[in-house]
Structure 1
Amino acid sequence: MNKVIRIGTRDSELALWQAKTVQNALEKAGHKTELVPVKSTGDLNLDQPLYEMGITGIFTKTLDVAMIKGEIDIAVHSMKDVPTALPKGIVEAAVLKRANTKDILIHKGLDFLESEGIIATGSLRRKAQWLNKHPNHKVVDLRGNVNTRMKKLDDNDWNGAIFAAAGLERIALKPDNFTDLNWMIPAPAQGAMLVVAMEEDEFTRKALALLNHRESEITVHIEREFLKVLEGGCTAPIGALATIDKDLVYFEGALFSLDGKEKIGVEKTVSIHDIENLGRRCAEEILNNGGAKLMQQIKAEINTEG
């Protein structure tokens, strides 16, 4: 069959890099493809914090609509941006091999760490974890694509800004003045790329199945299950990371209060044969250890701010 697989993508440099990576892999396998850039609501509104716009799906909604309308066949996303529940008719078709999962700090010198400082991030998770470790610091909102955020850091008197290492590495923007935040728990599925397709489109799903990386698929699904059970439809500062070492799966996850003062965490090491519902089990442990009450508090605070 000579079907041309139309690849929908956001038109930022990073999103296009991700889409072209999938395009190259499909073409190498003998398929014909076409890139279809689409502007998303999340890219167009740079002044409003993500959580006020209902962060769930803000970067994927436009592509979902285009796919359901038949304008594109697949969409490529940073998996951490994708809601844990996909729209009806759209399914996960491939999780690509995961890249660097770390958060990094781009800084203008590290002298401020032991005193007062200003850090920029648009992420509730990063903000809460930074304040948990550096309660004397101020955290300001930072929005836009990677290039925009790097420029804003240069143009302001902030001490630093937090980025996902994978995004900067993919488009060769990672500067020398960075430090790995090894203590910061990443977003569920950080560093992973997801390709989605229509459930009924067997040709495209079969083509994409060859791109799937099984180990990455396992770990991100554990993290996203953890997120789904904890969130209950509400955006919150949640970190999760699952890793596989031979026959063992190591999981670390945490829920933070918005101001970072409270942290409820969980760590588990299980056999690869015992991973069914691992994300759910870890989430339920947090909910039972005060997480349910903390989630109610977070929901109330976000509704008040909104």
Structure 2
Amino acid sequence: MESRTIRIGTRDSELALWQAHTVQNKLENLGHTTTLVPVKSTGDIVLDKPLYELGITGIFTKTLDIAMINNDIDIAVHSMKDVPTALPKGIVEAAVLERANTKDILLHKGLDFLDAKGTIATGSLRRQAQWLHKYPNHQVVDLRGNVNTRMQKLKDSDWNGAIFAAAGLERINLKPKEYLDLDWMVPAPAQGAMLVVAKEKDTYCLEALSHLDHADSKICVHIEREFLRELEGGCTAPIGALAEIEGDQIHFTGVLFSLDGKDKIEVSKTIKLEDNKNFGIHCAQEVLNNGGKKLMKKIKASLK
């Protein structure tokens, strides 16, 4: 049997390294030899511009894609919600790990502002739109950087709170005692899931990683990403999606918002698990036919 050291590419933030170490441990438990190769991404370096202004979907994954194409790394570990729905030529999804918490949470300095005026920070158009939909008299400001940087910025600011993915904070033990579960907020497609990618022709790594794949998580995130791809067509928009398996059924909720949160188009459906093929696409088409086409045009025009 061929044996070689699997080079694991990762961003160098604390959370990204935690994710890479998790994959490393799982591979080593299966008897493989591995080494970590940390790489800085443009998304981590350029912190003074909102993500959508940088104009690249997949800004956090691009650097690792290039490292893989240049043969500097063999596999790369990502937060799946950061990964564009279309992967570069020659790179494929090798494993979706078991999904963690899908929720968004609010870190805050007291909640008395909720019924009054307030300022909330987030770098996500999806979170911004959903927050403004629920709290139209609040202000939302841009917040960028890795988890640690964003927590520090919140601490140093006069903002009332900032929105984070629960999974990210739980993974590196940064979730404070005081937080608010935003269970009304529909998460980003694939939120809480980790994806490992490899080269399409690298049978050694693909075989090794196939043992890390979690079937139910994979089905759910693929439905969510199908929904996203069908709606977006490569544009960043306030889109949320969550698929959950209960018994032999899948329940799906998908939303598209206007940037200011005023318009909301939602789809909610339950089907049999075995009927999941193209389910995300059908749900997206329902949104598009329900006013989504017009709304996406408006979003694209205003983000130019």
Give your verdict on TM over 0.5: yes
User: Partner residue of 2:83?
Assistant: 82
User: Partner residue of 1:279?
Assistant: 280
Deviations 1:42-77 (A, max 9, x none): 000000000011241100000000001111000000
Alignment of 1:93-242 (within 5 A): 93-242=94-243
Q: Which amino acid is 1:36 matched to?
A: V
Q: Which amino acid is 1:221 matched to?
A: H
Aligned partners of 1:200, 1:53: CA distance in 2, in Å?
Answer: 31
Alignment of 1:50-61 (within 5 A): 50-61=51-62
Aligned partners of 2:242, 2:115: CA distance in 1, in Å?
Answer: 28
Question: 2:17 is paired with a residue of what secondary structure?
Answer: helix
Query: What is the deviation of 1:177?
Result: 1.6
Question: 1:59 is paired with a residue of what secondary structure?
Answer: helix
Q: Which amino acid is 1:161 matched to?
A: A
- Conserved? CA contact 1:236–1:298, under 8 Å: yes
User: Partner residue of 2:250?
Assistant: 249
Question: 2:59 is paired with a residue of what secondary structure?
Answer: coil
User: Partner residue of 2:11?
Assistant: 10
Q: Which amino acid is 2:175 matched to?
A: K
Q: Which amino acid is 2:12 matched to?
A: D
Deviations 1:11-57 (A, max 9, x none): 00000000000000000000000000000000000000000112411
Q: Which amino acid is 1:6 matched to?
A: R
Deviations 1:142-194 (A, max 9, x none): 00000000000000000000000000000000001201000000000000000
Aligned partners of 1:53, 1:94: CA distance in 2, in Å?
Answer: 28
User: Partner residue of 1:35?
Assistant: 36
Aligned partners of 2:41, 2:111: CA distance in 1, in Å?
Answer: 35
Aligned partners of 2:78, 2:155: CA distance in 1, in Å?
Answer: 27
- Conserved? CA contact 1:57–1:82, under 8 Å: yes
Aligned partners of 2:242, 2:206: CA distance in 1, in Å?
Answer: 27
Q: Which amino acid is 2:171 matched to?
A: R
- Conserved? CA contact 1:227–1:238, under 8 Å: yes
Alignment of 1:63-78 (within 5 A): 63-78=64-79
Aligned partners of 2:175, 2:6: CA distance in 1, in Å?
Answer: 32
Query: What is the deviation of 1:2?
Result: 2.3
Aligned partners of 1:253, 1:269: CA distance in 2, in Å?
Answer: 12
Query: What is the deviation of 1:233?
Result: 1.1
Aligned partners of 1:155, 1:208: CA distance in 2, in Å?
Answer: 41
Aligned partners of 2:226, 2:38: CA distance in 1, in Å?
Answer: 30
Aligned partners of 2:143, 2:58: CA distance in 1, in Å?
Answer: 19
Question: 1:268 is paired with a residue of what secondary structure?
Answer: strand
Aligned partners of 2:134, 2:167: CA distance in 1, in Å?
Answer: 23
* Structure 2 residues not aligned, in runs of 5+: none
Q: Which amino acid is 1:196 matched to?
A: V
Cα distance change on mapping 1:222 and 1:28 into 2, 3 Å: same
- Conserved? CA contact 1:103–1:186, under 8 Å: yes
Q: How many residues align?
A: 303
Q: Which amino acid is 1:65 matched to?
A: I
* Structure 1 residues not aligned, in runs of 5+: none
Aligned partners of 1:15, 1:108: CA distance in 2, in Å?
Answer: 27
Deviations 1:226-270 (A, max 9, x none): 000000111000000000001000000000000000000000000
Q: Which amino acid is 2:149 matched to?
A: T
Query: What is the deviation of 1:274?
Result: 1.1
Aligned partners of 1:169, 1:269: CA distance in 2, in Å?
Answer: 29
* Backbone CA RMSD of aligned residues: 0.5
- Conserved? CA contact 1:55–1:235, under 8 Å: no
